[in-house]
Amino acid sequence: MSHIKSLSFLGAFLMAGLMTGCSITQTVNPVPPLDTNSICIINNDDARETFRDAYKRALEKKNYEVKVLPSSAVIGDCSVSSTYTANWRWDLAMYMAYAEINVFKNGQKAGDAVYSSLSGGANMGKFIKAEPKINELVDLLFPGSYNGPATTENQQNKAPKKTGASADDAKYKKLKELKKMQAEGLITKDEYDSQKAKLLNN
């Protein structure tokens, strides 16, 4: 009887040790609220493009405008930039074993997210779909969605700009209105001349 108990205890001990060595970890340090909706992702030539693309989509769903920079770029090239790395492994099937996302604001670390099943061993939870995990990391890393004003250069460039021609057209239209008002006796000639001089001097 004591021999059976010893074997049971040994089995439980070995199982506990096995499970301890089959851990999956995830840590996230969220990024504080940003004053811009523009984020630059620095491409990682050693990671799968599918990871970068999924990361980009996840940010865009949160109302960020994302620009992908070449791997030669540095974190100071944008006010908010991000680096990433991801590794896949084979164990009966290919799975994402490690993912790390770092975010920088004005060259300083602002937040990070790390997922690892490198010590997953026999833990079947390591067989995950990459994109849902990336979405989860982004949701935790960037709580909420960006709701501030659009501040990116591209969006600023989309704003209509007044040209010299359009300004002259507006002056001409106003002069015609003033002339009509004078003809109808709504303003005097002196008032017309005064308003005309103001328009032409602006």
Please state, in angstroms and rounded to a whole number, the distance separating the CA atoms of residues 101 and 84.
Answer: 4
% of the chain with per-residue pLDDT over 90: 50
Where are the CATH 3.40.50 domain residues in the chain? Answer: 17-155
**CATH level 3 topology of 17-155:** Rossmann fold (3.40.50)
Please state, in angstroms and rounded to a whole number, the distance separating the CA atoms of residues 39 and 55.
Answer: 11
Please state, in angstroms and rounded to a whole number, the distance separating the CA atoms of residues 57 and 138.
Answer: 10
Q: What is the pLDDT of residues 70-108, one digit of tens each?
A: 999 999 999 999 999 999 999 888 899 999 999 999 999
Q: Kindly state the average pLDDT of the residues 27-56.
A: 96
Confidence grade of residue 166 (pLDDT, cut at 50, 70, 90): low
Q: Which of 15-24, 69-78, 174-183 shows the lowest per-residue confidence on average (mean pLDDT)?
A: 15-24
Letter for the amino acid at 60?
A: E
From the list 34, 53, 28, the residue with the least C-alpha distance to 43 is 53
pLDDT of 147 above 90 = no
DSSP per position, 146-190: --S----HHHHHHS----HHHHHHHHHHHHHHHHHHHHTTSS-HH
At residue 149, the pLDDT reads 66
pLDDT of 6 above 60 = no
Query: Best-predicted range by mean pLDDT among 119-123, 140-144, 162-166?
Result: 140-144
% of the chain with per-residue pLDDT over 70: 79
